[in-house]
Amino acid sequence: MKTLEIFKKKKTISKKVKIMIICTLVFAVMLTLVSAFVIKTPTQKAIVLGEPMRADTVTIYQNGFTFVTFTETITTEEGENTILLYLPSGLLFETLRINGLDVVDIRCSSTPEEHLFEEGDSIIIHTKDETYAGTFIEWTYHGLAIYYDNKTLIINTDEIKTIELVKPVPQQKPGELLVTINIISTYGEKNVTISYLMKGPSWRATHFLDLDTGNLECWAQVENPQAWQNVTLTTVVGGPHVVYRGGFTSYSYDQENILYAGGMTSGITWTPSEVEEYHEYTLSEKISFNKGETVRIPLFSGVIPIYQEYFWSGGKVENRYYLNNTMPEPLPNGIVECYRGNKWVGEDNLKYTPKGDESSIIVSYAYDIKVESKTISEEHTYSKDTYTKQITIENFKNVSIIIKIEQPLPYKANLLSSTPTANLEGRILSWKVDVGANEDSIITYGYEVVWH
């Protein structure tokens, strides 16, 4: 019995010894492999370059695209090097350029969005037969879904010819992209310039016009910027031509999809220039932004000739002002706020106005001027219809006015008579009429519509 117990104890000890020996051998083998790996594969130190908001120059377009450049000085080792580059989530990866290094490859560990459009983007879709201006919803199996004319519309992808991006929504998704750049280099310092196009930031022009003096102030309003510090800012009138990115979700598409791809403080100056078809304004001083804020900066100012004219083509009488751009640069499209001295009197959208050209804006509606059109006679025969129209203009104001009246001629109509004499351009009749204070004026004209 004792002999059996001793045998069991020896057997147990023998198992423990074997287990310890095996563990020791395994550990020794693992240690050898790890040591060999460390010796044969030395760790490579990555160079972290820039930050998501890093920028030296920022060029902002009016339709929600921004071109960013910055330069860094780095020290590289002999042979292979890896650079880690953090960039904003709105990056268009294909536009990323690295100058000053021999790049082997560029990798983005957080893949950019599959499509250029995001929900809420204002787009215009051109099909073979129609044009639709609406808000992007999503790509579906059956086509592109947009919110159009107060309803959801799905447009078959086979029918789409081109897509224009009018205005993207601001980037709501926080975060950044990690880009890995593998290079072959020599030892020493290198100047590296990074440039890329991104979505999100935009700018628009805001104008202030004094109707008494013709003094016009133009401000650049920058919206949804990154946290850029001490950058050279350039604002560009208009938007770039940008090619549509990404394939459709679960189907192929062969056609080309293109989108097309907006008081003064003394001491702040801008340098205007022309690049390709763009008009650019570069701020003379460095500027900093906080991410997501809206910043308004005076762009330029001057006195331009303006004149008032009332206008009617149906409905309300418009109080219009015509702006003659005598500035050395074009007027960017944007909202114009109208004042008389310090009194705000109205606003309107000002279209892009080249230097030397003229634009009109509606400041208000003239409720003390009434215009009415009626038919005073008509005659119908087998071959034609003849009409006589009368337009009555009543001025209840205590001052005389000049009003422009426009009326279209019907299809296939011929003007027979007009008192006073009408100006005819295409199918549009127009008159300029002086109406005295508290007086009225009458326009009479006749036309015929020939059917055979």
Pair 70, 223: CB distance under 8 Å: no
Evaluate if residue 47 carries a pLDDT over 90.
no
User: pLDDT tens digits, residue range 406-443?
Assistant: 999 998 899 999 999 999 999 999 999 999 999 999 99
Domain CATH code at residue 419: 2.60.40.290
- Residue 390 lies inside a defined structural domain of this protein: yes
State which of 167, 199, 228 marks the end of a domain.
167
Q: What is the count of structural domains for the chain?
A: 2
User: pLDDT tens digits, residue range 198-237?
Assistant: 888 889 999 999 999 999 999 999 988 988 999 999 999 8
Residue 3 is predicted with a pLDDT of 37
Residue 52 is predicted with a pLDDT of 64
User: pLDDT tens digits, residue range 251-309?
Assistant: 222 333 333 223 444 456 888 877 767 788 999 899 999 887 899 999 999 999 999 99
Confidence of residue 139 (pLDDT cuts 50, 70, 90): confident
Residue 414 is predicted with a pLDDT of 93
Report d(CA 365, CA 346) in Å as an integer.
10
- Residue 422 lies inside a defined structural domain of this protein: yes
Domain CATH code at residue 162: 2.30.30
User: pLDDT tens digits, residue range 323-339?
Assistant: 999 998 899 999 999 99
Confidence of residue 356 (pLDDT cuts 50, 70, 90): very high
Q: What is the mean pLDDT of residues 309-317?
A: 95
Tokens of 108: 């983005």
Name residues whose C-beta falls within 8 Å of residue 346's C-beta, 6 or more positions apart in sequence: 319, 338, 362, 363, 364
- Residue 373 lies inside a defined structural domain of this protein: yes
- Residue 302 lies inside a defined structural domain of this protein: no
State which of 132, 167, 202 marks the end of a domain.
167
Instruction: Calculate ∠ Cα 354-358-359, nearest 5°.
Output: 100
- Residue 307 lies inside a defined structural domain of this protein: no
Q: What is the mean pLDDT of residues 105-130?
A: 72
Tokens of 202: 């935009």
- Residue 95 lies inside a defined structural domain of this protein: no
- Residue 129 lies inside a defined structural domain of this protein: yes
Q: Radius of gyration of the chain from Cα atoms?
A: 35
Name residues whose C-beta falls within 8 Å of residue 253's C-beta, 6 or more positions apart in sequence: 157, 158, 247
State which of 167, 194, 225 marks the end of a domain.
167
* 120 or 323, higher pLDDT: 323
Confidence of residue 32 (pLDDT cuts 50, 70, 90): very low
Confidence of residue 40 (pLDDT cuts 50, 70, 90): very low
Report d(CA 393, CA 443) in Å as an integer.
8
* 276 or 178, higher pLDDT: 178
Structural domain span for residue 429? 369-450
- Residue 140 lies inside a defined structural domain of this protein: yes
